[in-house]
Amino acid sequence: MAAGAIALFAGLDWVGAIETVNPHDADAAPHEYPLLSLYEDVCQSMLCYELTSSQIEAFEVLLQHGGGSELREQAYACLRIDTGTYPTAATREYRELYSMFSRCFPTSDVMYEFLCKRIADDLDVHMPTHKDPGAVAAWSWADSADTAVNLWKITGERRFLDLVIESYNQVLMFQDRYTETMDDFRGRIMNGWGLYAGGETPSWEVEITLQGRITAPILRLIYIVQETNAPWEGFQTWARTAQLEIRAIIDQYLSEFVFDDSDEPSGYFMNLRTGDQEPVNHQAAYARTCLYLYLLTGEDKYRDIVTAVVNYLVSGWQIGDNGAAYWPYKFHPEDPSAEYNTPFWKASVTQQFLCEVYHYQMGFSRDQMELLVRTFTQNVYQGFGSFNVYTDGTFRPFSGYNAVHTGQARPRLAMWITLAAHDSDVSAIIAEAVGTRIDIFPNGWLNGAHPCMATALSIWWLLESGGDLF
């Protein structure tokens, strides 16, 4: 960073660290993320109506193209308002500024520091102390990995791929084969990551969901790098080893898949603990890995799983009067009486898989994609920044108040931005919500946010830059 830019931040005590920490330096202390800290500080100052001129100048090093003259003009307008005398005017102007800021893409250095911090937190803090380290990898680290691949596609900076590869090698060490933990339902130690299953008696289960969530980003990385003819020395050796390891994980479950006798190939996994079908989003998570295994190997056994799961998922669809599809959280194909009350945060996993299936022309049609887009634009989104909890359009407004106990619900709303590859209105809806619905997105894109917010931001950025998401 230029010395002149450093001087602009002299009023902020911790900014001096920027002079000594290079975000490209893998040996930098893991707790020092100066640009990310600056980004978070600027966001928080906007929300507290306490922005300073130094922070406005920081736009230059935080945002692509310096943030733009319109953004700066709005920022300085906020500074000219006496917040004590005109609190309503200050609130209005600062909210507009925050909304404008949230529509700007951070620099790759800011994004890299965000990913470094989130991955370090997962590997060094959350996974070693969590009772289900595999769940942390599946529902946090995996989002960081997908984000990094997107950012490599945008910037061409290999450091993003190196971050995924190096961290994945550590994630592997949390597998049950290393911790010597037995799956209580299969009676053996599995390749993969287990978790404590629910019920009156806690038990350990290596379910399909975690395996798909953790391994799919790695296979996607391998496939995209090979397709772009961008492998470097040592990559192919690592890729072959990673692919073999993932096949060993995924192939354990192939014999458990239930193919039905319908005209079109269809099938599903049963949950060994409950005796019910696995939830729809769980099936999608596993099948996503099979999709990339098929692309990489050409083996029909993986394609058959993808095709069967897609047909199974679509067989559970209902189509509302508004032309939008909705489906149950889990269902038996012979029992259409299941309640169609899938919350959008679970359905977001399913729609991501279906978008990839559509792109690779593996059994999801254009007409079906249009129905899926309407699931979000008609059933989840209700206009004027309002969203429903359920994908069937059942009226239950989603807000910060009723999202308190839903874990990852808030950030998973942003993941529907994957559909923007087919309808640009989706990205406009989500970008506006991130900038205005602070009750739903209190941490914005990166202000201490869950990594899937960065995934959504990178998808939007990739699409806006004219790139191919897949």
| pLDDT tens for each residue of 272-304 | 888 889 999 999 999 999 999 999 999 999 999
Burial class (CB in 10 A: 0-12, 13-18, 19+), 354: buried
Q: What is the pLDDT of residue 407?
A: 60
Q: Is 351 helix (H, G, I), strand (E, B) or coil?
A: helix
Biggest CA-to-CA distance, the chain: 73
Q: For residue 193, give the 3-state DSSP assignment.
A: coil
Q: What is the mean pLDDT of the chain?
A: 89
Strand partners, 188: 183
CA distance 408 to 398: 13
Residue 256 one-letter amino acid:
E
CA 138 – CA 146 distance, rounded (Å): 11
Distance CA 325, CA 291 (A): 23
Per-residue confidence (pLDDT) for residue 23, from 0 to 100: 40
Residue 337, pLDDT score: 58
Those residues of the chain that have pLDDT short of 50 are 1-26, 28-30, 405
3-state secondary structure of 106: strand
251: its two tokens: 């192939």
Token pair in block for residue 33: 């993320």
- pLDDT, residue 2, reads 37
Q: Which amino acid is at 117?
A: K
Give the pLDDT confidence of 117-169 residue by residue, as tens digits.
999 999 999 999 999 999 999 999 999 999 999 999 999 999 999 999 999 99
What is the DSSP pairing of strand 258-259 with strand 203-205?
Answer: unpaired
In angstroms, the CA 451 to CA 308 distance is: 31
Reported as a single tens digit per residue, the pLDDT across 45-72 is 999 999 999 999 999 999 998 778 899 9
Short-list 104, 20, 106, CA closest to 62? 106
The conformation of residue 397, written as its DSSP 8-state character, comes to B
Question: What predicted TM-score, i.e. pTM, was given to this entire model?
Answer: 0.91
Please tell me the chain's helix, strand, coil percentages from 3-state DSSP, rounded to the nearest 5.
60, 5, 35
The span from the CA of 401 to the CA of 137, in Å, is 28
Q: What is the pLDDT of residue 336?
A: 56
